[in-house]
Chains A and B, each alone.
Chain A
């Protein structure tokens, strides 16, 4: 039975710098990187290659010794040029200099008739597996688990997010194959959740082997965590998996063609991005080629991902594994005379406190990275609740994490959220607390204790 869910709570951040729906021809990136820090669950990363080795797309280059069936593969063919480590030899990046044309490891098409365990093992060894995320905790799934359901969000409501139907154009065949493979892996259903406010896009039309649900409302309606909460919520002991729509299609391509194809279409967005649009590249691409024409990148914040959940990268940094968007906005390192008091309609705010007239002004807002205030204890109540479309009491959950009260964390729903689910809370918080970091801290407490 497909479900229709209409959400009211939340907040759409309408920002300047949306990417027009057109593919632009940018010079292709020459170096690519796998960053173990993109995968929060990795405990003991081990590099499987040395500097100077040549690899193909799909060659294993990294694994987690704590879950060594799952490999992390090279997105392109080429040469390993650098294995970058930080303090205490923490593994930061494995950089690959790409060949001009990409060669793939090919294991041949997959037979979906085989049993679940061997199918999971083949996917785990292919490079596509890290697309599968386990809830609770938001970590790469363990192939040995059988999840109660698998959830795929077919749309992205994050600010300036890439349009899923656009980036998956012409991938319908692969997407269906991916859904078929996932359906084998779960004891329950595969849920495909589409934007209820729009027509079902071509790539999802007539999809089989999945329950198609419609979600509508402001962000975070497109977050898979929100969707799970309304479809089949996660309780203590449950395991569910989530896969991005892009990940499903990548899995499907492996199933049909036997290759790990890390090519992806990403959106170039943000008010300071010189050339906005979509560009075709590979996972882990160096972003510097996309930033051509930007005069002074030092004064700007280059973000892999979106402005709510993304990560700051350098101007020659690399796209995160799960990201399909680069956002460029101004840095906000300035003092503003009476900035806390001046009335303004051009500053984006969820609140309507004195002088904040942004709610009256429609249209798009230009934002920067200024925090607009200092960190404070929680004072105002009821704000988080307005942007959290789940039956969860965010303030109490956060306080439980701050006090490291394990029972409370469990009972108040920490199994149901990861960073992206509280990103809006972090944005609207007038006390400027780092709530995403806090939630990850709480998750780590639950995972490792």
Chain B
């Protein structure tokens, strides 16, 4: 089969596709050149990327379970663990499949046209896109967002490693601005199916509850604790930390994000500076908001910011994308902290955007090269100053 794909072969054009798939089954038989390093590290980009995918699996599995859980709360029905898991899987797996199928097809098309090897980046992006979607998003929107993100977010810049914005966040932002009805508001997070919600049920996310409390003046913690309490929902700090709240598929559980963070940091794949900076920045900004509080949302205990919405997921999996993050070590601190800070500012002060992490990450993606520029400049200056001494 191989000769058909080699130069002069029948399917020469599809050489990159063939290689891309063959190297998944078999690590290639490439050897080092005659000059330079004669041996190479056993780790390659495929292994790095699969590590990230593995780190997201706890969030995915929890997300599947939680979607079932939320459904049964909303409809007031009793559901076993298995019922919830099956219900969740039926809603999540199609999204995951569409994200991978459409994204990879787009990627392959570009690889063939531009004749560059298939890169492993989409292994991670495909999973991320699925995890930041609301559970009952129309599949055609997932497909459209994926195509937009891969083409405009990545391929126009030259493919993997060249993009400025995080590809998965680009997909989500696209949907947010193109189809706001399906990705925001109180109605998209819980799927009722042919059933109706029990009386008094509100599909509001924790962030929306917190925001509303700044209007009606109830303390946030109290508003959260009474929210849907009649249906057995629990918006306590612990419950939000565990992730038993409505939200995008993978974002609700801070605990699962932290499990992912442990995997990423222990394997050295993601920068712990960005993760610590992100949580730290959000917490500090939360405290600043407390100090300046003029409404109930601002007065919300700072640690609540860390467990609500997608902050943990975004900081752990999105902000740490090495291509779109700051690349200098000092830059990573600044970048991480500012993501946390901006997330809280956007959440608390801007009524149009209940969730701040998406815009914070995208904004900091754009700013990251500027941060790096100054860190690099400081390095150059040190070198120049040395010369004059």
Contact = CB atoms under 8 A, between A and B. Distances in A.
B42 A372 contact: yes
B38 interface: yes
Interface in A383-415: 385, 391-393, 395-396, 411-413
Contacts of B323: 379
Contacts of A309: 36-37
Nearest to A436: B36
Contact of A376 (B29, B39, B51, B161): B161
Contacts of B32: 332, 369-371
Interface string B322-338: 11010111001000000
A427 B51 contact: no
A374 B39 CA distance: 14
A377 B159 contact: yes
B45 A431 contact: yes
A426 B39 CA distance: 9
A338 B44 CA distance: 12
A224 interface: no
B35 A382 contact: no
B80 interface: no
B266 A379 contact: no
* A367, A372, A391, most chain B CB atoms within 10 A: A372
A373 B37 contact: no
Contacts of B38: 301, 303, 307-308, 310, 312, 327, 329, 369
B81 interface: no
A436 B45 contact: no
A332 B383 CA distance: 41
A329 B44 contact: no
A301 B38 CA distance: 9
Contacts of A341: 46-47, 50
A337 B160 contact: no
A427 B37 contact: yes
Interface residues of A, number: 77
Nearest to A270: B38
Contact of A374 (B25, B117, B380): B117
B382 interface: yes
B43 A430 contact: yes
A363 interface: no
A355 interface: yes
Contact of B45 (A373, A411, A434): A373
Contacts of A310: 38
Contacts of B28: 335, 371, 373-374
B376 A412 contact: yes
B36 A356 contact: no
A311 B35 contact: yes
B78 interface: no
A379 B37 contact: no
Contacts of B162: 377
B292 interface: no
A353 B43 contact: yes
Contact of B27 (A335, A349, A393): A335
A426 B35 CA distance: 12
Nearest to B46: A340
Interface stretch (B197-205, B207-215, B219-227, B267-275): B267-275
A273 B54 CA distance: 40
Interface in B1-42: 19, 23-42
A344 to B, nearest CB: 7
A425 B370 CA distance: 25
A26 B48 CA distance: 46
Interface in A410-434: 411-413, 419, 423, 426-432, 434
Given A235-B383, A348-B42, A379-B121, A436 B23 contact: no
A374 B161 contact: no
* B31, B32, B162, most chain A CB atoms within 10 A: B32
A233 interface: yes
B35 A376 contact: no
Interface residues of B, number: 60
A376 B117 contact: yes
Contacts of A260: none
A370 B37 contact: no
B106 interface: no
A85 to B, nearest CB: 18
A331 interface: yes
A310 B34 CA distance: 8
Contact of B41 (A348, A375, A392, A413): A348
Interface in A298-314: 301, 303, 307-312
* A331, A379, A396, most chain B CB atoms within 10 A: A379
Given A356-B43, A373-B46, A391 B379 contact: yes
B383 A413 contact: yes
B51 A353 contact: yes
A350 interface: yes
B387 interface: yes
A437 interface: yes
B44 A432 contact: yes
A371 B25 contact: no
A393 B381 CA distance: 13
B39 A377 contact: no
A367 B39 CA distance: 7
A413 B386 CA distance: 12
B380 A377 contact: no
Interface string B355-387: 000000000000000001000100110111011
B50 A354 contact: yes
A334 interface: yes
Given A233-B386, A376-B45, A382 B329 contact: yes
Contact of B31 (A332, A340, A385): A332
Nearest to B55: A354
Interface of A: 13, 233, 235-238, 301, 303, 307-312, 327, 329, 331-341, 344, 347-356, 358, 367-382, 385, 391-393, 395-396, 411-413, 419, 423, 426-432, 434-437
9 contacts: A335-B28, A347-B42, A370-B32, A379-B161, A419-B36, A426-B36, A427-B39, A427-B41, A437-B33
Given A348-B39, A374-B30, A427-B40, 10 more contacts: A235-B387, A337-B27, A339-B26, A354-B267, A371-B28, A377-B159, A380-B48, A430-B41, A432-B40, A437-B35
